Chains A and B, each alone.
Chain A
């Protein structure tokens, strides 16, 4: 009998020790998997406000959003980071946010402040562009395509080069894939974009399901050494190729095509989750994210651009990455309304 009691006691102790300690005050931020930040920046906020930061990585944007929506009655975090303009309206509709308007929004350009509904704050942006293999084009003395229409030309098609030169991602399963689809909608309009895709298909294009496969298997200028010299990726990818090169490089092997409407601008937002118990702290953190220290940390951690006009870019970005001057932009409400339909239409044309 005694041994049984003893065992029971130990079990209880074990269970108790398993519960997290609620001694220190913490602020929890739910992010997607691509979120990254420097240790110093995190520490800065923690020491300034005497709080511990906890980051809840929750998969890709879609998974994260599902998670936030499904737990909105008892939110698992104080702040949500990483909902982008393709999901924005849906997120706001689901009513998961607490309204907040940061004073630092004054330093942010107007382009980023549309459709905020007083609920979310833009933090960063990135352009999804076609990256190309410089060596491929220079060695064949082939001009780099400048517009979407150029992609339909035969010299960039299968007939000339035996393999399709462009690889794109499936918009149903890939975020950059969706972004590129939206760029074509912006360029050709809702009635004309399918024609473009049909033309692209006839000229020859490879479709894969995710960015990983596209970049590391199909793209010829990456370590995967694939066959396609053009891939839908990010405007910052050429900079990453230099920063993460295994031998020091003075020039990036890739660059982006940044003609009008060839890139799609993705904006990432953050919002305070409704039901948070740390409203004040959460607001402070939103402000912190808009402030220069955090904003200047974004490029080398997340390979996105800061929205704050006062934030300066690292030299690698200035040298090797190019933000599009005329990116394709679509109203986020429209996107939210029509994206399912566009994805289905695209699937019909391209995959069936």
Chain B
């Protein structure tokens, strides 16, 4: 009897020790995201890579260097340009209130949701050989030859990258900028620093971290960019991702594809580590501020001019192409037809009407409402999963900084993973019920979450780190239980960061990045899939319906984002 009690005690002690170790390591926080990563990234990636390397396809090392060099070059240049364009915008959004600010803020997120096919169409409508700008210029200059040659150029790649990713800089740096205590800059001024010196000595060093974080995210996106390079850059430009695509899917050379994938993953880790080192560990506590506090209407002409420039630029870059797209969806622009002579134009809602008609009685007809609901469903689930996982990670990184060293690069890996390889990995791994590609409804949101999770983590973490212990402690002293402390104090402060991360997750999911094109469920098609279908056949109706569906996608997404932002109750504090 005693022996049993002793053994029971010993077992309990052993359990207790492990429990303490578990608690100390903070594993309760990061175990769920890690499991998610392991099950849905490392396992599929591992299986497909081992399959790829077990094949006997020929390898040509010479085909690696050029794409590698070009990939790094275009990603680097795109990142620099995105920062150059995004920082002034972040400044303007964080310091001032002005009419149309809410609209512009929402609008900057919309490019994320657009499949590249649609973006290409939008830019074509605006800047193509018979796009509106060229048409206008030809009128003005009296030439018959379109002066702007935009598509299939390096410029197109760069512009499209900035178009897509400027939102990252604006939101990540912008939110940190709003959190920056204006009194720091004012102190510097009183101490004798002119505006430019203040910016250099105080503002920039304090913003170093968010700038580097946004640069990392933008770089990795551009590094693995596929649709933009393929469709807007054209055949003269080949990145590693495009090479993986051609090797795997056209030349059926899986071994080469595997090699390139490993190369890409290696670069991702290297770049992530580089950025971490550069943004050295000291967490700069930013004073948590209420939304809108510290923003005011512009006073000087210089300020007004800056705002005007930024708004104009964003308008040209983002609103115009999307507007061109929307305009094409309601315009009947026949090409010069034999018997008609002149092009016939006219406004029409025919394309929208046609969306709801299954004229060919196709079995695969996608009713737009259903496609929309499917997209929103996936986006919603993705938002929930990635917000939860990302926040847990943020907590883990703030509470237990040592965990960051090894977990951070792992979390960033999905960013740098080839969509093609990962997609194939999904197909190979999730082959049997219950988790089966095509039938398990949560596979797509989980795949989206792999990308969205690091976003949420990186937006929430600085907000979390800025909460001084004293705040938590005073609440506790006032009688709040740990849960109440979390709900009433912490959650309120990180609410805005959480929301920003959630919005990213939402738009990323709607835009269906990468691997999910491989695992889309035929029974629950989403809007981007439907858009692709229309654009893969000739005919004005098909083109028009694709534009119409894209416009619906844009409008619905815009409204959703606007609603989400209203959720956190913007307060406009003036002067």
Tally B residues with Cβ within 8 Å of A. 79
Proximity bits, B330-354, A CB within 8 Å = 1, else 0: 0011111111000110001011000
Residues on the A chain within 8 Å of B252, using CB: 62, 65-66, 87, 90
Contact A225 B333 (CB under 8 A): yes
User: Measured between alpha carbons, how far is A223 from B428 in the docked complex, in Å?
Assistant: 39
Proximity bits, B351-383, A CB within 8 Å = 1, else 0: 100000000111110000000000000000000
Contact A253 B335 (CB under 8 A): yes
Residues on the B chain within 8 Å of A71, using CB: 427-428, 431
- Would you call B541 an interface residue if the criterion is a C-beta within 8 Å of the partner chain's C-beta atoms? yes
Contact B543 A223 (CB under 8 A): yes
- Would you call B535 an interface residue if the criterion is a C-beta within 8 Å of the partner chain's C-beta atoms? yes
Within 8 A of B (CB), among A23-69: 33-42, 54-60, 62-63, 65-67
Distance (whole angstroms) from the CB of B514 to the closest CB of chain A: 13
User: Measured between alpha carbons, how far is A41 from B151 in the docked complex, in Å?
Assistant: 42
- Would you call B130 an interface residue if the criterion is a C-beta within 8 Å of the partner chain's C-beta atoms? yes
- Would you call B517 an interface residue if the criterion is a C-beta within 8 Å of the partner chain's C-beta atoms? yes
A-B contact pairs, 8 of them (CB 8 A): A19-B433, A76-B431, A207-B234, A222-B540, A223-B543, A233-B538, A244-B542, A301-B360
Q: Which chain A residue shows the least CB distance to B249?
A: A62
Q: Which of B117-125, B482-490, B567-575 contacts the other chain? A: B117-125
Q: Which chain A residue shows the least CB distance to B438?
A: A56
Q: Which chain A residue shows the least CB distance to B522?
A: A57
In addition to A206-B152, A221-B335, A303-B537, 17 A-B residue pairs with Cβ atoms within 8 Å of each other are: A33-B532, A38-B363, A57-B520, A62-B249, A70-B48, A138-B338, A209-B230, A209-B235, A217-B120, A222-B543, A224-B121, A225-B335, A226-B130, A237-B538, A247-B334, A253-B335, A253-B337
User: Measured between alpha carbons, how far is A19 from B436 in the docked complex, in Å?
Assistant: 9
Contact B537 A223 (CB under 8 A): no
**Interchain CB contact (< 8 A) of A245 among B117, B234, B541:** B541
Contact A227 B146 (CB under 8 A): yes
User: Measured between alpha carbons, how far is A245 from B332 in the docked complex, in Å?
Assistant: 10
- Would you call A220 an interface residue if the criterion is a C-beta within 8 Å of the partner chain's C-beta atoms? yes
Q: Given that A70-B51, A246-B332 are contacting pairs, would A213 and B231 also be in contact in the complex, using a CB cutoff of 8 Å?
A: yes
Q: Which chain A residue shows the least CB distance to B439?
A: A20
Contact B440 A18 (CB under 8 A): yes
Within 8 A of A (CB), among B506-533: 517-518, 520, 522, 532-533
Proximity bits, A125-157, B CB within 8 Å = 1, else 0: 000000001111011000000000000000000
Q: Given that A62-B249, A67-B424, A303-B537 are contacting pairs, would A225 and B130 also be in contact in the complex, using a CB cutoff of 8 Å?
A: yes
Q: Which chain B residue shows the least CB distance to A61?
A: B249
User: Measured between alpha carbons, how far is A70 from B424 in the docked complex, in Å?
Assistant: 8
Q: Give the most central of A18, A36, A38, A213: most B CB within 10 Å.
A: A213
Proximity bits, B428-458, A CB within 8 Å = 1, else 0: 1001111011111110000000000000000
Contact A70 B428 (CB under 8 A): yes
**Interchain CB contact (< 8 A) of B362 among A33, A37, A54, A217:** A37
User: Measured between alpha carbons, how far is A136 from B431 in the docked complex, in Å?
Assistant: 52
User: Measured between alpha carbons, how far is A325 from B532 in the docked complex, in Å?
Assistant: 32
Residues on the B chain within 8 Å of A241, using CB: 538-540
**Interchain CB contact (< 8 A) of B348 among A163, A218, A246, A250:** A246
User: Measured between alpha carbons, how far is A223 from B297 in the docked complex, in Å?
Assistant: 45
- Would you call B250 an interface residue if the criterion is a C-beta within 8 Å of the partner chain's C-beta atoms? yes
**Interchain CB contact (< 8 A) of B433 among A20, A33, A170, A227:** A20
**Interchain CB contact (< 8 A) of B249 among A56, A66, A221, A247:** A66
Q: Which chain A residue shows the least CB distance to B351?
A: A246
Q: Which chain B residue shows the least CB distance to A243?
A: B539
Contact B230 A217 (CB under 8 A): no
- Would you call B236 an interface residue if the criterion is a C-beta within 8 Å of the partner chain's C-beta atoms? yes
Contact B540 A207 (CB under 8 A): no
Within 8 A of B (CB), among A159-192: 162-163, 170, 172-173, 178
- Would you call B499 an interface residue if the criterion is a C-beta within 8 Å of the partner chain's C-beta atoms? no
Distance (whole angstroms) from the CB of A182 to the closest CB of chain B: 13
Contact A224 B128 (CB under 8 A): yes
Contact B235 A240 (CB under 8 A): no
Contact A38 B361 (CB under 8 A): yes
Number of A-B contacts (CB under 8 A): 220
Residues on the A chain within 8 Å of B442, using CB: 18
Q: Given that A62-B250, A251-B338 are contacting pairs, would A212 and B424 also be in contact in the complex, using a CB cutoff of 8 Å?
A: no
Distance (whole angstroms) from the CB of A70 to the closest CB of chain B: 5
User: Measured between alpha carbons, how far is A233 from B233 in the docked complex, in Å?
Assistant: 21
Within 8 A of A (CB), among B229-276: 230-231, 233-236, 242, 245-246, 248-254
Distance (whole angstroms) from the CB of A77 to the closest CB of chain B: 10
Residues on the B chain within 8 Å of A331, using CB: none
Contact A133 B532 (CB under 8 A): no
- Would you call B129 an interface residue if the criterion is a C-beta within 8 Å of the partner chain's C-beta atoms? yes
Distance (whole angstroms) from the CB of B458 to the closest CB of chain A: 31
User: Measured between alpha carbons, how far is A133 from B249 in the docked complex, in Å?
Assistant: 32
Contact A244 B145 (CB under 8 A): no
Distance (whole angstroms) from the CB of A302 to the closest CB of chain B: 9
Q: Which chain B residue shows the least CB distance to A339?
A: B251
Contact A39 B248 (CB under 8 A): no
- Would you call A15 an interface residue if the criterion is a C-beta within 8 Å of the partner chain's C-beta atoms? yes
Contact B361 A172 (CB under 8 A): no
Distance (whole angstroms) from the CB of A41 to the closest CB of chain B: 8
Contact A224 B124 (CB under 8 A): yes
Residues on the B chain within 8 Å of A76, using CB: 427, 431, 436-438
- Would you call A3 an interface residue if the criterion is a C-beta within 8 Å of the partner chain's C-beta atoms? no
Residues on the B chain within 8 Å of A66, using CB: 248-249, 252, 254, 424
Distance (whole angstroms) from the CB of B546 to the closest CB of chain A: 9
**Interchain CB contact (< 8 A) of B231 among A38, A55, A212, A233:** A212
Residues on the A chain within 8 Å of B539, using CB: 240-241, 243-245
Within 8 A of A (CB), among B188-241: 230-231, 233-236
Contact B234 A55 (CB under 8 A): no
Contact A133 B335 (CB under 8 A): yes
User: Measured between alpha carbons, how far is A136 from B532 in the docked complex, in Å?
Assistant: 29
User: Measured between alpha carbons, how far is A35 from B532 in the docked complex, in Å?
Assistant: 13
**Interchain CB contact (< 8 A) of A162 among B145, B423, B427, B522:** B145
Distance (whole angstroms) from the CB of A180 to the closest CB of chain B: 14
Distance (whole angstroms) from the CB of B343 to the closest CB of chain A: 8
Contact A38 B350 (CB under 8 A): no
Contact A213 B335 (CB under 8 A): no
- Would you call B536 an interface residue if the criterion is a C-beta within 8 Å of the partner chain's C-beta atoms? yes
User: Measured between alpha carbons, how far is A250 from B428 in the docked complex, in Å?
Assistant: 49
Q: Which chain B residue shows the least CB distance to A340?
A: B251
Residues on the A chain within 8 Å of B541, using CB: 244-246
User: Measured between alpha carbons, how far is A300 from B250 in the docked complex, in Å?
Assistant: 27
Distance (whole angstroms) from the CB of A177 to the closest CB of chain B: 9
Distance (whole angstroms) from the CB of B384 to the closest CB of chain A: 15
- Would you call A351 an interface residue if the criterion is a C-beta within 8 Å of the partner chain's C-beta atoms? yes
- Would you call B465 an interface residue if the criterion is a C-beta within 8 Å of the partner chain's C-beta atoms? no
Residues on the A chain within 8 Å of B151, using CB: 213, 217
Q: Which chain A residue shows the least CB distance to B420?
A: A63
- Would you call A79 an interface residue if the criterion is a C-beta within 8 Å of the partner chain's C-beta atoms? no
- Would you call B111 an interface residue if the criterion is a C-beta within 8 Å of the partner chain's C-beta atoms? no
Distance (whole angstroms) from the CB of A22 to the closest CB of chain B: 8
- Would you call B294 an interface residue if the criterion is a C-beta within 8 Å of the partner chain's C-beta atoms? no
Distance (whole angstroms) from the CB of A179 to the closest CB of chain B: 13
Distance (whole angstroms) from the CB of A47 to the closest CB of chain B: 14
User: Measured between alpha carbons, how far is A274 from B328 in the docked complex, in Å?
Assistant: 47
Residues on the B chain within 8 Å of A173, using CB: 230, 235, 242, 245-246, 250
